[in-house]
Amino acid sequence: MNWLKRLKPGASTRTNLLVAALMWSCIGLFLMARGYFLVEAVPWVFLGLALGVGTLKAFLVIERAARKNIARILARPDGMCLGGVYSWRMWGMVGCMMLGGRLLRNSSVPHLVVSVIYIAVGWALLLSSRLIWQEWNARSSSLR
C-alpha cells in the first residue's frame, strides 16, 4: 500500500483551492460558450434571461455548494490528493450533470431553450467560482 501513497497526486491546500476554482471557472466558461454557439445567434433578450436565471441560481443554490467545497478543502491537511478536492457525492453530481447535459442536447427540446439553460448554468458556476478564487487569493496573500 505504500507504493499507492507515492502515486497519489497530493497537493497543498492552496493548490487544491486553485484546482477547484479553475474547474468551476473553466466549466462555467465552457458551458456559456457551448450555449452561446449552440444556436446561430442567441437573441439579447434570451441572453439576458439566461444571465438573470444564472445569477439567481448562483446566489440561491451554487454558492452554498462552493462554500461547502471551500470548507471541505480547508478542513483537509496539506498533501491530500487532488482528486479529493470534491467529495464522492459532488463527483457523482458532476457525472449526473454531464449525463443530463448530454441527454438535454440530444433531446427534442429546442436548441434555444438548451442554449439558455447552458448559459444560465455556466454563468452560475462562473459567478460562484469567485468565492473559491477569493479564498485562494487570501491564502496566497498571506504567504507574501
**In degrees to the nearest 10, what's the CA dihedral of 92, 8, 23, 59?**
60
Q: Would 37 be classed as within a structural domain?
A: yes
Structural domain of 130: 12-136
Number of structural domains found in the chain: 1
Q: Would 115 be classed as within a structural domain?
A: yes
Q: Would 141 be classed as within a structural domain?
A: no
Percentage of the chain exceeding pLDDT 70: 94
Average pLDDT of the chain?
90
Q: Residue 22's Cα: distance from chain center in Å?
A: 8
pLDDT tens, residue by residue, 65-120: 999 999 999 999 888 888 888 888 888 988 998 999 899 989 999 999 999 999 99
CA nearest to 73, candidates 136, 28, 125, 9: 136
Q: Among 10-24, 39-53, 72-86, 106-120, whose mean pLDDT is lowest?
A: 72-86
* Prediction pTM value: 0.88
pLDDT over 80 (residue 6): no
